[in-house]
Amino acid sequence: MIRESMLHADDSCFRQVVPAGDYFIHTVLKGQTVRILDLAGNQAADTLFYSASNPTERYSAIDTIREQGNVYLTTGTMLLSSEGNPMLEIVADTCGRHDTLGGACATESNTVRYGLHTQCMHACRDSWMLAVAEHADMGLSKRDITHNINFFMNVPVTPEGGLTFADGISDAGKYVELEAKMDVIVLISNCPQLNNPCNAYNPTPIEVLVWNP
């Protein structure tokens, strides 16, 4: 559901542009609102969330979609943890639909999807691995890399059980905004994917903004 935000960028307490192929890791406190902004359009922001006090508790795609009874994420969706607790709520969304079934690109799965020649190309999971390695204080490792949200991606399921990768429904300036229900670590890979027609083979920067309550 499309809902615009009342928040103004000038009032934010934090903002950072994340180039394609880079990661973003930051703790957002309970009550704060975080916006992920698609600066140039049709960019995928592959995002994981962890409880900051106990990262073993983390975003769960399967629990989230089952409990809301819908496979797509948009305004009103409560993102649930692996313990069934509310982590963040999507409070504004100018895109209308986000994917959480498709997972993230990895060098290994790229060889399956796009061909063995893609083995050495940069992928989302590499960005996450580097993030957890460079932020050892966060207490994360590959064991914690699980199923993510692909903000701005459109992956429709057909009633016959097919999964399709449709062209993006995002555009320059579209955003999604989430209010934190607990202190959360936000870990984003701004996808470097050069093989997917969804982004016209052109990965672009995103921006992350945070507001105090």
Partner 1 sequence: MAKMLYENRMPGGTHWSLEMKQGTTLKLIDQEGGANVGMLFYNPQNPLERYNAPDTLKCQHTFKLTQGHCLYSDMGRIFCSIVDDTVGWHDTVGGNLSKAKLREKWQERTYQEARNDWTLSGTDSFLVELAKYGLGKKDLAANLNLFSKLVVAEDGALQFVEGNSQAGDAISLRFEMDTLVVFHTCPHPMNPAPAYPKKPVIYQLWQADPVTADDECMNACAENQRGFQNNERYLAGCHTGACCS
19 vs 66 by CB, closer to partner 1 = 66
Alpha carbons 163 and 157: distance in angstroms, whole number: 5
Per CB under 8 A, the segment of 32-40, 95-103, 172-180, 204-212 that binds partner 1 is: 95-103
Minimum separation from the CB atom of position 31 to Zn ion (A): 30
Q: Residue 66 phi/psi, 5° resolution?
A: -65, -45
Q: What is the DSSP letter of 78?
A: E
Task: Region of 40 please: left (phi>0), alpha (psi -120 to 50) or beta.
Answer: alpha
78 vs 169 by CB, closer to Zn ion = 169
Of 4, 108, 134, 171, which lies in the binding site for partner 1, with binding defined by CB under 8 A? 108
Distances (CA, A) of 78 to 61, 67, 106, 111: 11, 9, 27, 34
If one asks whether residue 193 binds Zn ion (CB under 5 A), the answer comes out as yes
Q: What stretch of H or E contains 178? A: strand 174-180
CB count in 10 Å sphere of residue 126: 17
Of 27, 103, 169, 204, which lies in the binding site for partner 1, with binding defined by CB under 8 A? 103
Exposed / middle / buried, residue 109 (Cβ in 10 Å: 0-12, 13-18, 19+): middle
Q: What six digits make up the tokens of 39?
A: 């600066």
Of 9, 133, 163, 200, which lies in the binding site for partner 1, with binding defined by CB under 8 A? 163
Of 37, 79, 105, 184, which lies in the binding site for Zn ion, with binding defined by CB under 5 A? 105
Per CB under 8 A, the segment of 87-95, 161-169, 175-183, 204-212 that binds partner 1 is: 161-169
- 191 contact choice in partner 1, Zn ion, none (CB below 5 to 8 Å, kind-dependent): Zn ion
- 27 contact choice in partner 1, Zn ion, none (CB below 5 to 8 Å, kind-dependent): none
If one asks whether residue 181 binds partner 1 (CB under 8 A), the answer comes out as no
CB count in 10 Å sphere of residue 141: 12
If one asks whether residue 195 binds partner 1 (CB under 8 A), the answer comes out as no
Binding footprint of partner 1 on the chain (CB under 8 A)? 56, 60-63, 65-66, 69-72, 82, 84, 97, 101-104, 106-113, 115-116, 125, 142-144, 146-147, 155, 157-159, 161-165
